[in-house]
């Protein structure tokens, strides 16, 4: 079945770049997502990338996709204390009028040190 793996913890200093990595197993993955969860809150969709793309940039966020290695990364430039949260990598095999089944990784806890 589908599996998404990511490291559990990342600590960075404020102002540095953060890179959160993820690997997935489902070769039919069409959509790959990054979600952010702050304490006590639900999940916030940060960005997503189609499997036919290599890179997507959105302000401080850069997503890189290596489809051959099934590796996805999220780079946060100029990391701020407000970026401290759990980041989930997720994949979905298809899209037809609504997301059918999204598989999530365990989440990477990002700690930003002032």
Chain residues that interact with another protein, rule: CB under 8 A: 33, 35, 40-45, 48, 88, 97-107
CB of 74 to another protein, least distance (A): 17
Q: Measured from the CB atom, is 24 or 88 closer to another protein?
A: 88
Q: Measured from the CB atom, is 45 or 55 closer to another protein?
A: 45
CB of 23 to another protein, least distance (A): 15
Q: Measured from the CB atom, is 19 or 45 closer to another protein?
A: 45
Q: How big is the CA angle at 17 (ends 76 and 92), to the nearest 5 degrees?
A: 30
CB of 27 to another protein, least distance (A): 19
CB of 62 to another protein, least distance (A): 19
Q: Measured from the CB atom, is 9 or 99 closer to another protein?
A: 99
DSSP letter for 33, please: E
């Amino acid at each position: 079945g589908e599996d998404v793996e990511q490291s559990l913890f990342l600590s960075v200093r404020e102002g540095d770049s953060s890179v959160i990595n993820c690997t997935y197993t489902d070769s039919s993955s069409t959509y790959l997502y990054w979600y952010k969860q702050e304490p006590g809150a639900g999940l916030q969709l940060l960005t997503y990338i189609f499997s036919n793309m290599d890179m997507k940039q959105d302000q401080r966020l850069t997503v890189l996709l290596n489809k051959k290695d099934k590796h996805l990364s999220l780079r946060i430039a100029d990391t701020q204390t407000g970026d401290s949260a759990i980041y989930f990598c997720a994949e979905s095999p298809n899209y037809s009028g609504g997301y059918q089944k999204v598989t999530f990784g365990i989440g990477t806890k990002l700690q930003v040190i002032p």
